[in-house]
Chain A
Amino acid sequence: MTDLVLETQGISKAFGALEANKDISVDLAAGEIHAIIGPNGAGKSTLIAQVCGAQQPDKGRVRFLGEDVTDLPVRGRAKKGLGRTFQISALAMEDTVLQNVVLGAMGASSTVWHFIKPALADQVLVDRAELALERVGLSDVRSQRTAELSHGQRRQLEVAIALTLQPKAFIMDEPMAGLGSEGSKQLTRFLDELRNEAPILLVEHDMDAVFALADRISVLVYGEIIATGTVEEIRRNKDVQRAYLGEAE
Chain B
Amino acid sequence: MIKETYLNTFVLSLFILIPLWAYLADEPFTITLMTRAVIFALAAVGLNLALGIGGLVSLGHAVFFGLGGYAMGVLAHHAQTFTAVAEWPFLIEGTKSMPVIWLVAVVISSLAALLIGILSLRTTGVYFIMITLAFGQMFFFFSISWSEYGGEDGLSIYVRNSFPGLNTLDPIQFYGLCFAILCVVLFMMARLFKSPFGLALNAARQTPERVETVGLNATRLKLVAFVVSGAVTGLAGALFADLNRFVSPTMFSWQLSGEIIVFVIIGGVGRLFGPVVGAGVFVALEHFLGGLSEFWHIYLGALLLAIVLFGRGGVIGILSGREKIHD
Q: How far is the CA of A93 from the CA of B212 in the complex (A)?
A: 16
Q: How far is the CA of A75 from the CA of B200 in the complex (A)?
A: 14
Q: How far is the CB of A146 from chain B (nearest CB, A)?
A: 9
Among the 9-residue stretches A13-21, A103-111, A192-200, the one with 4 or more Cβ atoms under 8 Å from chain B is A103-111
State whether A117 touches B327 (Cβ < 8 A): no
Give residues of chain A (78-124) contacting chain B, Cβ–Cβ below 8 Å.
78-79, 84, 86, 90-96, 98-100, 102-104, 106-108, 111-120, 122
Q: How far is the CB of A50 from chain B (nearest CB, A)?
A: 14
Please, what's the 1-or-0 string for B191-223, where 1 marks a CB less than 8 Å from any CB in chain A? Answer: 110111111101100110111111111000100
When distances are taken between beta carbons in the complex, the residues of chain B under 8 Å from A78 are: 212-215
- Closest A residue, CB atoms, query B214: A107
When distances are taken between beta carbons in the complex, the residues of chain A under 8 Å from B197 are: 112-115
Give residues of chain A (130-181) contacting chain B, Cβ–Cβ below 8 Å.
143, 145, 161, 164-165
State whether A125 touches B196 (Cβ < 8 A): yes
State whether B195 touches A91 (Cβ < 8 A): no
When distances are taken between beta carbons in the complex, the residues of chain A under 8 Å from B213 are: 52, 74-75, 78, 84, 86, 90
When distances are taken between beta carbons in the complex, the residues of chain A under 8 Å from B199 are: 95, 99, 102-103, 106, 119
Assess A143 versus B327: contact at CB under 8 Å? Given A75-B217, A78-B214, A112-B200: yes
Assess A115 versus B195: contact at CB under 8 Å? Given A103-B214, A143-B325: yes
- Name which of B194, B200, B323 has the most chain A CB atoms within 10 A of its CB: B200
User: For chains A and B in complex, what number of residue pairs have CB atoms within 8 angstroms?
Assistant: 110
Q: How far is the CB of B208 from chain A (nearest CB, A)?
A: 9
Q: How far is the CB of A49 from chain B (nearest CB, A)?
A: 10
- Closest A residue, CB atoms, query B199: A119
State whether A119 touches B209 (Cβ < 8 A): no
Q: Which of A79, A90, A112, A115 contacts B192 (CB 8 A)?
A: A115
> A212 an interface residue at 8 Å Cβ cutoff?
no
Q: Count A interface residues, CB 8 Å.
A: 43
Q: Which of B192, B198, B207, B212 contacts A75 (CB 8 A)?
A: B212
When distances are taken between beta carbons in the complex, the residues of chain A under 8 Å from B207 are: 90-92
- Name which of B196, B323, B325, B327 has the most chain A CB atoms within 10 A of its CB: B196
Q: How far is the CA of A91 from the CA of B204 in the complex (A)?
A: 10
Q: How far is the CA of A64 from the CA of B213 in the complex (A)?
A: 16
Q: Count B interface residues, CB 8 Å.
A: 26
When distances are taken between beta carbons in the complex, the residues of chain B under 8 Å from A66 are: none
Q: How far is the CA of A161 from the CA of B215 in the complex (A)?
A: 12
- Closest B residue, CB atoms, query A74: B212
Q: How far is the CB of B199 from chain A (nearest CB, A)?
A: 5
Q: How far is the CA of A10 from the CA of B195 in the complex (A)?
A: 43
When distances are taken between beta carbons in the complex, the residues of chain A under 8 Å from B192 are: 115-116
- Closest A residue, CB atoms, query B211: A103
Please, what's the 1-or-0 string for A206-226, where 1 marks a CB less than 8 Å from any CB in chain B? Answer: 000000000000000000000
State whether B195 touches A118 (Cβ < 8 A): yes
When distances are taken between beta carbons in the complex, the residues of chain B under 8 Å from A54 are: 209
Q: How far is the CA of A86 from the CA of B214 in the complex (A)?
A: 12
Q: How far is the CB of B71 from chain A (nearest CB, A)?
A: 24
State whether A90 touches B210 (Cβ < 8 A): yes
Q: How far is the CA of A74 from the CA of B215 in the complex (A)?
A: 7
- Name which of B202, B212, B214 has the most chain A CB atoms within 10 A of its CB: B214
State whether A165 touches B325 (Cβ < 8 A): no
When distances are taken between beta carbons in the complex, the residues of chain B under 8 Å from A164 are: 214
State whether A111 touches B212 (Cβ < 8 A): no
State whether A104 touches B214 (Cβ < 8 A): yes
- Closest A residue, CB atoms, query B228: A115
Q: Could you list 8 further interchain pairs (A-B, Cβ under 8 angstroms) beyond the known A90-B210, A103-B203? A: A79-B215, A86-B213, A96-B325, A96-B327, A103-B216, A119-B195, A125-B196, A164-B214
5 closest A-B pairs by beta carbon, nearest first, are: A107-B214, A78-B215, A107-B215, A118-B194, A90-B210
Q: Which residues of B contact A (CB under 8 A)?
A: 191-192, 194-200, 202-203, 206-207, 209-217, 221, 323, 325, 327
In the complex, 28 of the A-B residue pairs with CB atoms within 8 angstroms, ordered by the A residue number, are A54-B209, A73-B212, A74-B213, A78-B212, A84-B213, A86-B209, A90-B207, A90-B209, A90-B210, A91-B207, A91-B210, A95-B206, A96-B325, A98-B327, A100-B203, A103-B199, A103-B216, A104-B214, A106-B199, A106-B214, A107-B214, A111-B196, A112-B197, A112-B216, A112-B221, A119-B195, A119-B198, A120-B194
